[in-house]
């Protein structure tokens, strides 16, 4: 199990605070942690990693500069090899050995239909830096947790555990299983 903390529409430049929010769920991913922060776009995506598949190269968030995508995933994609072979037909070369990286080329080709192609347990946050699009999804059964809230300033927050949101969001709820959000 890994941990995701993602904040969008940030009004303040407070990277140290955002890192502390991510640190609250370090127990979910004690092997490695990483983040993407762009103060001009008002975006922070933190990831606490538990290394199961590709411990050497699967660090997250995955930053794909060619496709302008930032991706943080909690879960496991069981059919990733089949997706590369039969759906993507070798047109995307994986930069990591992570099962989760397959979400990037699927999103490029199938956009909001990407979760329908995934066999696995997952919640993920994807940020398209070129178009400023945010795409969030959760597996159909809801095995992997994901919560979201909105701050009084209108910032949108997502996290693997609600405790990352409770100090900032007057309203927190579970992101519904089998759903996606694109904004």
**Is 100 among the residues known to form the active site?**
no
> Would you say 44 and 10 are in contact if contact means Cβ atoms under 8 Å apart?
yes
Sort strands 43-49 and 3-8 into parallel, antiparallel or unpaired.
antiparallel
Reading the block at residue 151, the tokens are 């701050």
Q: What's CA 143's distance to the chain center, in Å?
A: 15
DSSP 30-86: BTEEEEEEETTTTEEEEEEE---S-TTT--SSEEETTTTEEEEEEEEETTHHHIIII
Catalytically annotated residues: 2
């Amino acid at each position: 199990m890994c941990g995701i903390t993602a904040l969008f529409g940030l009004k303040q430049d407070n990277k140290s605070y955002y890192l502390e929010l991510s640190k609250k769920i370090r127990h979910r991913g004690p092997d490695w942690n990483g983040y993407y922060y762009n103060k001009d776009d008002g975006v922070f995506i933190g990831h606490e990693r538990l290394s199961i598949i590709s411990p050497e190269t699967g660090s997250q968030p995955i930053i794909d500069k060619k496709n302008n995508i930032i991706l943080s995933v909690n879960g496991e994609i069981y059919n990733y090899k089949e997706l590369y072979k039969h759906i993507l037909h070798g047109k995307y070369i994986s930069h990591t050995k992570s099962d989760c990286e397959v979400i990037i080329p699927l999103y490029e080709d199938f956009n909001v239909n990407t979760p329908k192609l995934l066999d696995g347990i997952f919640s993920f946050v994807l940020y398209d830096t070129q178009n400023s699009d945010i795409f969030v999804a959760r597996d159909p059964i809801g095995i992997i947790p994901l919560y979201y809230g909105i701050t009084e300033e209108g910032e949108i927050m997502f996290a693997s555990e609600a405790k990352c949101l409770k100090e900032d969001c007057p309203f927190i709820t579970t992101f519904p299983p089998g759903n996606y959000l694109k904004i």
